[in-house]
Amino acid sequence: MPKVPSRKRPCCICRKWFLPDVRQKKRQRTCDNPECRSEHHRRQCAQWNEKNKESSKSNYLHKKLEKIRKPPPEKDFSPPVVRMGSIPRCRIRPILPRDIVQLEIGTTNLIILDYFAEQLLARIRRNPTDYI
């Protein structure tokens, strides 16, 4: 049975008319332009992240914490060594020196505090009149 070519349709990004691939049929939304495909992918990911905010936030925090986790060290009573390269960067500018705070409260707690501060500042920036 021969495959029937589908009708032309407009690209959802550039709005140019294209002939979809026969194997894709009704699923293909963009033309063959790689920029249109990547833009469509970016929009779909943003839409998914908007619908699944809690999942996105927990994945983000989980990845940051996994980055610093290591197997538990042997019983050693020497003071902990602070390496600034091992801490993921914070997107806000803290007032206190991060190395001293990390030494006092630990790397995991520092990352969680950074995350809460980012979330709080983002909420205040969205609706500043709610907090006055």
Q: What is the pLDDT of residue 40?
A: 96
CA distance 57 to 115: 10
pTM of the model: 0.47
Spell out the per-residue pLDDT of the chain, length 132, in tens.
556 656 899 999 999 999 999 888 789 999 999 999 999 999 999 998 888 888 877 887 888 788 777 655 565 555 555 454 455 566 666 666 777 777 788 888 888 888 888 888 888 888 877 766
**Phi then psi dihedrals of residue 21, to 5 deg:** -60, 140
- The half-sphere exposure of 100 on its side-chain side, counting CA atoms within 13 A, is 4
Q: Which residues contact 69 (CB under 8 A, 6 or more apart)?
A: 108
What's the pLDDT score for residue 73? 55
